[in-house]
Amino acid sequence: MWLGVVIAVVVVIVVVFVVVYFLSLTAGVHVTFIAVASDDDACGLSGELLPGLTGPEGGTAVESWSVTNYNTTASCTIESASTSMPGFAVTGSNLPLTIPASSSGTLSIHLSLPATAYSGPLVIDLS
């Protein structure tokens, strides 16, 4: 009899934790990863997957990444950043960013986050 009660209590506790976990995912903005798109493959970044971010609905975020130019003879330049994802906007950056051959630079992007809850990827277009 006690074993049945213990099992029932454990099941209820697990269910409560699972519900609380999934409810916490729906509040705020949870970008699971940032996918880089670039028609001209700016500095070889097209197709890169970058870490995600979490922020409040309607908030802002500043994301920075190290970018390495693996070309040994020519510099590369990232001219602009944008996104067409609903609710997101690129509101600032340190662009244009020119990275000399065989060097690294830091790309920083300021984002405006959606005013409603969001969970999923974000696509940033670089050129």
Sketch out the chain's domains with CATH numbers: 2-126 (2.60.40)
pTM: 0.76
Digit-coded pLDDT (tens) for 80-112: 999 999 999 999 999 999 999 999 999 999 999
Q: What is the pLDDT of residue 27?
A: 78
Digit-coded pLDDT (tens) for 47-83: 999 999 999 999 999 999 999 999 999 999 999 999 9
Written as six digits, the tokens of 6 are 């213990």
Does residue 9 surpass a pLDDT of 50? no
Please state, in angstroms and rounded to a whole number, the distance separating the CA atoms of residues 71 and 68: 9
